[in-house]
Structure 1
């Protein structure tokens, strides 16, 4: 039997977040279809009526849950940029590596992402969350690439930076999926090293990655 979450009563926003976390638990274990209002209420230890007080429709709760996953993954990657003393190239390398290591590379995170993605094509709200998350991530990559080029005395117009960001995002996405689905096939740090080396080749820069 699934363990119930402790529903905290510290404030409106905290209560909403507790319901979102209970929803993520249900989606991870039973998929989107299994994340019924009844199952979420049981996991959160509340009534279905209380859920509807915060989220009038199940779709509203699913949208908030997917947005939480997207925002959490991005925040974890951005944390790699904290601190001082890193060159722009090192910052870009750290960002790529962060996206290809735990906690972002994680079977549960992938299960959640795949569940929401599978529903997004038929759900405009989930599709909008995905689109916003993708554009935000791509914009961050563009910024990091532009900084790296500038520090190396290279110039690139907006169109070229956009295409570079799309290519780097594709490298990260592909390796991330492999790491989440079959992490035991790779050595510690291997995917991050491959990702950095691949981005170096695409951009023609040195971030300290493998040269093999």
Structure 2
């Protein structure tokens, strides 16, 4: 583990540095490695400075989990935000983003697994999980609504929600396997499986002609 040299930065940047130090500690050694002492050493600061920004270790953990989920949401949302191509291809771009690097990543999986194990026993962690899960599902629903509308299909909110749940579950499973054991799959095998599955769920053509 490398120790950063202390540097004077603004409050927002210092908070971000501490969150990244916490994430590094968890990724390298699990939750048992993520002590205030280890985080301080990683960030090149004192434990007292950490408490200036986060009153408790739990607050820092919550911020680190929120950061992890926000980054994953941002990766998926890029397909919607670019606004390029047809609505159907924006949905395709979303699937691609979910099943390729930087989303497919062993470190990202390690962090997610460490945090999600706490979601059932820590109410704040559970709230972060629910908030981001619903945001991810809402993103899928918007992409679906646009793609279906462009094909002349007007789906009800209830059906869009059900389709989004199914798509999210399929992509989550493929993401987990791809991040955990990428060597088990041929080039683009996971992506092709994801596109095929979303096509089967939605009836929309996603794979390139």
Structure 2 length-normalised TM = 0.96
Which residue number in structure 2 is paired with residue 115 of structure 1?
Answer: 114
Match runs of 1:19-98 below 5 Å = 19-98=18-97
> Distance between the aligned counterparts of 1:79 and 1:142, measured in 2?
15
What is the deviation of 1:187? 2.1
Structure 1 length-normalised TM = 0.94
What is the deviation of 1:174? 0.4
Describe the shift of the 1:102–1:25 C-alpha distance in structure 2 as closer, same or farther (beyond 3 A).
same
Superposed CA offset, 1:123-167 (max 9, x none): 111111111110000000000001111001111111111000000
8 Å Cα contact 1:146-1:156 kept in structure 2 = yes
8 Å Cα contact 1:16-1:54 kept in structure 2 = yes
8 Å Cα contact 2:4-2:43 kept in structure 1 = yes
Describe the shift of the 1:85–1:35 C-alpha distance in structure 2 as closer, same or farther (beyond 3 A).
closer
> Distance between the aligned counterparts of 2:6 and 2:117, measured in 1?
29
> Distance between the aligned counterparts of 2:84 and 2:50, measured in 1?
46
8 Å Cα contact 2:141-2:160 kept in structure 1 = yes
Which residue number in structure 2 is paired with residue 206 of structure 1?
Answer: 205
Describe the shift of the 1:121–1:209 C-alpha distance in structure 2 as closer, same or farther (beyond 3 A).
farther
> Distance between the aligned counterparts of 2:208 and 2:123, measured in 1?
39
Q: How many residues align?
A: 209
Superposed CA offset, 1:50-75 (max 9, x none): 00000000000000001101011111
> Distance between the aligned counterparts of 2:6 and 2:112, measured in 1?
24
Describe the shift of the 1:122–1:83 C-alpha distance in structure 2 as closer, same or farther (beyond 3 A).
closer
What is the deviation of 1:209? 5.6
What is the deviation of 1:196? 0.9
Secondary structure, counterpart of 1:72 in structure 2: helix
Q: Which consecutive unaligned segments of at least 5 residues does structure 2 have?
A: none
Deviation beyond 6 Å, 4+ runs, structure 1: none
Aligned-residue RMSD, C-alpha: 1.4
8 Å Cα contact 1:7-1:18 kept in structure 2 = no
Which residue number in structure 2 is paired with residue 144 of structure 1?
Answer: 143
Q: Which consecutive unaligned segments of at least 5 residues does structure 1 have?
A: none
> Distance between the aligned counterparts of 2:160 and 2:70, measured in 1?
23
Which residue number in structure 1 is paired with residue 171 of structure 2?
Answer: 172
Secondary structure, counterpart of 2:30 in structure 1: helix
